[in-house]
A and B are shown apart, each in its own frame.
Chain A
């Protein structure tokens, strides 16, 4: 095996690992904030008379907020690098940390504004703003966001260093932010929404219009807050999101590094076909195995 390919395979492993961590942290972060699609139910709850102590972080959806964080982080890292002019391993590492740190501060500010803004706009339903929810949840959000964003910046930097992408650093980080947000929104949120907010309804029943906003508000002990949701989702939804994003990144660059040149799009098409076949099989298997949802007879 030629040395260049060894280096590229090493980079590939690093990038895949960073993507895995980014996916896990991203999903748990969005669960603490109840962002993206389950957010509509949290938003609706006070209106339906279900006052709650959940966080309501609407910084757009995840596929828009993650590129936002990634672009800020990448710009900051680039600014730090150009000021320090230290492109050694340690210099780059600290620049990426600085980028992720500044981003997590801005993330925290945006998170507080959306919690306060949305709750204050529901005052007619009597939903109070809980400052302890704000105080306890925001640092958790920022920390998870930091990990996710740092991982995105790291994987972007490795790709740029290895000349695996034609885009400038900030643009590539932005694109991976969209991918990360998209995967997090599609994979992990289902676990949060159906298994956590509607854990008292049979799985697969969907949310009946009559149950809109009727999210579970009591926890195993006391009242539920959104950090409990992250604890629950860290068992399944978060790791699965990590696996999803890790696979997207890993397989994409695996075909670039191992199957080179014009064959790499062909390999990509074959992979997509394999995934489609697997998904169809999985769906038809589970439909046959568990059947359709039966309305409960009351």
Chain B
């Protein structure tokens, strides 16, 4: 089920490594230059995690979850949220603030495994890849949340995230926008003729939209100049991947008509 050109392993690599590099790079470039201009790199890292998370959602949801797609996405992003806040707090109080994203990632994996085990062994949902998928989605969610939060606050330090992202209420926007970016691609492409390439192009497009919104929020925190690079990259990226999604749809759809009546049965090609 849910075969594709890209293997789950390679996507995991892209998500974890790309996501962490993005978050660290943004944090350090911002710190070295004393600006918030490089925040957009953290958002790019988060988009790679969206790319990975959307495929993990796709793999588990193609077992016929149907209406469960948003549920599994939001459950896991909740797991990621807990992991991120706890990870940041542990990092601060243990004096390991450098390792915050990695601690959050590990905690997300733990919460994800617990969710997966509960779903499969206690609620008895008979999905073989449940534990693995739930773990992957929760880990991706933690990178997404931390990436977009860093893009807003300009740093992943506990105090800054708390002051600029949590207290201002933007955290809930990051939660739902990041969650939607991850769960919407498969939800929108649900059906027997779903194709990995199309779904993942859509994932990148929704990821760039989430980046756009976090860029707007960054404008409220760090001023307009800090938001401009994020907004420009987000708009350009979104246009590219939306056009690709459009081209994929044109290729995959039975027909793309400017208008017309409902085709008669004999006209339908099988």
Whole-angstrom CA separation of A49 from B187 in the bound complex = 22
Interface positions of A from 161 to 186, Cβ below 8 Å from B: 167-172, 174
Q: Is the interface of A mostly helix, strand, loop or mixed?
A: helix
Whole-angstrom CA separation of A217 from B262 in the bound complex = 9
Nearest CB of A to B208, in Å? 10
Which A residue's beta carbon lies closest to that of B261?
Answer: A223
Nearest CB of A to B235, in Å? 11
Known A83-B220, A170-B168; judge A118-B189 contact (CB<8 A). Answer: yes
Chain A residues in 8 Å Cβ range of B212 = 106
Q: Verify if B245 is at the interface (C-beta below 8 Å from A).
A: yes
Q: Is the CB of B169 within 8 A of A49?
A: no
Which among B70, B190, B216, B267 is the interface contact of A118 at CB below 8 angstroms? B190
Which A residue's beta carbon lies closest to that of B195?
Answer: A121
Q: Which range contains the number of A residues in contact with the other chain?
A: 35 or more
A123-144 near B? 1/0 per residue, CB < 8 Å: 1111111111000000000000
Q: Is the CB of B220 within 8 A of A58?
A: no
Q: Verify if A114 is at the interface (C-beta below 8 Å from B).
A: yes
Whole-angstrom CA separation of A72 from B211 in the bound complex = 12
Chain B residues in 8 Å Cβ range of A125 = 254, 268
Number of inter-chain CB pairs below 8 Å: 188
Q: Verify if B33 is at the interface (C-beta below 8 Å from A).
A: no
Nearest CB of B to A95, in Å? 11
Whole-angstrom CA separation of A223 from B264 in the bound complex = 13
Which B residue's beta carbon lies closest to that of A51?
Answer: B262
Which among A61, A68, A109, A121 is the interface contact of B189 at CB below 8 angstroms? A121
Q: Is the interface of B mostly helix, strand, loop or mixed?
A: helix
Nearest CB of A to B67, in Å? 7
Whole-angstrom CA separation of A102 from B74 in the bound complex = 23
Q: Is the CB of B268 within 8 A of A126?
A: yes
A-B contacts, 26 of them at CB < 8 A, read A40-B66, A51-B268, A59-B188, A60-B183, A64-B74, A71-B172, A71-B177, A72-B173, A74-B169, A75-B173, A75-B217, A83-B219, A106-B213, A113-B184, A113-B205, A114-B188, A116-B249, A120-B189, A120-B252, A121-B193, A121-B195, A122-B192, A128-B253, A129-B249, A171-B169, A174-B172
Task: Given contact pairs A75-B213, A121-B252, A129-B254, enumerate 15 new A-B contacts (beta carbons under 8 Å).
Answer: A65-B180, A68-B177, A68-B180, A71-B172, A78-B168, A78-B220, A110-B188, A114-B184, A121-B195, A124-B254, A129-B249, A130-B257, A131-B258, A132-B259, A170-B173
Chain B interface residues (CB < 8 Å from chain A): 66-67, 69-70, 74, 167-170, 172-173, 175-177, 180, 183-185, 187-195, 198-199, 202, 205-206, 209, 212-213, 216-217, 219-220, 223-224, 227, 242, 245-246, 248-249, 252-263, 265, 267-270
